[in-house]
Chain A
């Protein structure tokens, strides 16, 4: 008897980066660039007594999604928290630059970023920080060339630090309940500002402040999905052709959208306050709802927008 693993049905949160790719794109369509056999590893980790990975925690390549050519990058959140180092970051920058270069000659119209990162890898802090800035510029240039860049988030390491900033530079953002998107991590805030500002051990609080549901309800994410790989696949298929253009009008709309958010919710300190203000029924229960019940809820007005 053979047991067949069905990658589409697997859970995004539990899956490795390679499993996510396998379940996301069309079967057998993935071709990796600069794969593990090429040994593009970090030369900086040994001096910190850390073992490197053959892919430096980032997998890049091409494939097809519902028959359409796409480029994609997936961070392995279980390797050093999916953090950006020199090689890891350069692979992502290269992928996005390649997307832009090919856009004028019939290349893929979409890049999928499967983010799963704690931010900058401190052992390579300067190279990691700079690669995040280079990634942002490369995303903007790809978008200017008409390429949709779609972020898919729901892994163990979330999208923190520069990973959170990169997320909001993408054309579209897909999250699950597990997704945590933020700049300063809760531990960093607690260390700097004290436990009364942010108790990083209070998991429910962390999810309310940074989690996928809060991001969806405030407009920080475009699509909320249940946690299977196939849910992310379906959302990516739908969104890759619905990306806002990178124009003055788009950013002017984002300016208004973010200003309205500050005006309406600027005094809030916790998510239920914000949900109550937005008129949601039973704001205290948002975190407990099933995914189906959450998806069935009436959306706040911010949730459908092209202002990104």
Chain B
């Protein structure tokens, strides 16, 4: 395993759950199962792996797994393991309403959190665009293993759409995290809460994360401000929220 290649799913699972886990591979690049937490207790596992693009079939299956955990009750925490690509880019997916399927998955994760299930995203590979929003970004707290590669769009594609020279974009990407692909910019803007070190046991890093209290509200804009990656969002949101609530 090298940092460049990131961790494999087996590496991640072995490091996260030395006490054991049961994971089944389903269709469409999905996985589901349970892991045994250090210090007792179980965590429900769902995920999209092997850099599979997320389409209508995969999103619906993942949502059904999340809803099944909620239905069972007991407030079991849920981990979303992520190594996807972008959303599946086909005419079929869009004809069938991919936006509804991705939204359904995102809402299912949000409902789980509202029902008292802790939701933890673990990004150990790639995630981009709509697939990133519907999976990793839909959890309460997102951890990324060093070597993970989140993005909205790669720089050559951004260059094509914005009609700017690639070398100019590459230069700009050095000075601001606001648009550049990659883990460090996503950490700076507040999308990724913490980076995990692959050379140390992930079980300990997960345990430390679970010891922290649950955030009752979405603080990602405040985190982005504290990290100086997103300077305006928190203040703007606060000002508008205040005016909107005052009009009542």
Query: Which A residues fall within an 8 A CB radius of B?
Result: 31, 33-34, 40, 43-44, 47-48, 60, 62, 69, 71, 86-87, 89-91, 93-95, 97-99, 101-102, 105-108, 120, 122-134, 136-138, 140-141, 144, 159, 161-162, 164-169, 181-184, 188-189, 191-193, 197-198, 209-210, 214-215, 218-220, 246-248, 251-252, 254-255, 258-259, 261-262, 265-266, 268-271, 274
Cross-chain contact of A122 among B179, B191, B230 (Cβ < 8 A)? B179
Question: Which of chain B's residues has its CB closest to A167's CB?
Answer: B99
The 11 listed contacts between A and B (C-beta, < 8 Å) are A34-B240, A48-B162, A90-B233, A101-B241, A105-B248, A126-B185, A168-B103, A189-B91, A251-B104, A258-B60, A268-B95
Q: Which residues of B contact A120 (CB under 8 A)?
A: 129, 152-153
Provide the residues of chain A in CB contact with B238, threshold 8 Å: 94
The proximity string for B residues 94-131 relative to A, scoring 1 for CB distances below 8 Å and 0 otherwise, is 11111111111011101100110000000000000110
Q: A44-B176, A120-B153, A126-B186 are in contact. List 18 more A-B contacts (CB 8 A).
A: A40-B232, A86-B232, A87-B232, A87-B233, A90-B234, A108-B248, A125-B178, A127-B178, A129-B152, A130-B224, A159-B99, A162-B133, A189-B89, A209-B94, A210-B94, A248-B111, A251-B104, A262-B96
B220 located at the interface, meaning its Cβ lies under 8 Å from any Cβ of chain A in the complex: yes
Q: CB of B221 within 8 A of chain A?
A: yes
Q: Are A189 and B90 in contact (CB under 8 A)?
A: yes
Q: Is the CB of A136 within 8 A of B138?
A: yes
Give the distance in Å from the alpha carbon of A164 to the alpha carbon of B130 in the complex.
10
Flag whether B35 is at the interface (Cβ < 8 A). Answer: no
Segment of B5-13, B42-50, B64-72, B195-203 engaged in the interface with chain A: B64-72
CA distance A60 to B240 in the complex (A): 8
Q: List B residues 150-171 near A (Cβ within 8 Å).
A: 152-153, 157-158, 160-162, 164
**Which A residues lie within 8 Å of B56 (CB)?**
258, 262
The verdict on B92 contacting chain A, using a C-beta distance below 8 Å, is: yes
How many angstroms from the CA of A182 to the CA of B130 in the assembled complex? 11
Chain A CB within 8 A of B172 CB? yes
Task: Say yes or no: B95 contacts A134, CB within 8 Å.
Answer: no
Known: A165-B103, A197-B91. A265 touches B134 (CB 8 A): no
Secondary structure type dominating chain B contacts: helix
Could you tell me if A90 and B95 are in contact, using CB atoms closer than 8 angstroms?
no
| Complex contact B179–A125 (CB within 8 A) | yes
Size class of the contact patch on chain B: 35 or more
Question: Nearest residue in B to A136 (C-beta to C-beta)?
Answer: B106
Contact call A130/B220, Cβ cutoff below 8 A: yes
Pair A183/B153 contact, Cβ less than 8 Å: no
Most buried by A among B97, B103, B233: B97
Once the chains are docked, how many angstroms separate the CA of A192 from the CA of B160? 12
Q: Are B99 and A101 in contact (CB under 8 A)?
A: no
Chain A residues with Cβ below 8 Å from B153 are 120, 122, 125
**What residues of A have a CB within 8 angstroms of the CB of B130 in the complex?**
161-162, 165, 183-184
Asked, given contacts A90-B232, A184-B130, A189-B90, whether A248 binds B70 with beta carbons under 8 Å apart, the answer is: yes
Tell me which of B95, B110, B132, B178 contacts A274 (CB under 8 A). B95
In contact, A209 and B95 (Cβ under 8 angstroms): yes
Closest residue of chain A to B132, judged by CB? A129
Chain B residues with CB below 8 A from A136, complex form: 103, 106-107, 110, 133, 138
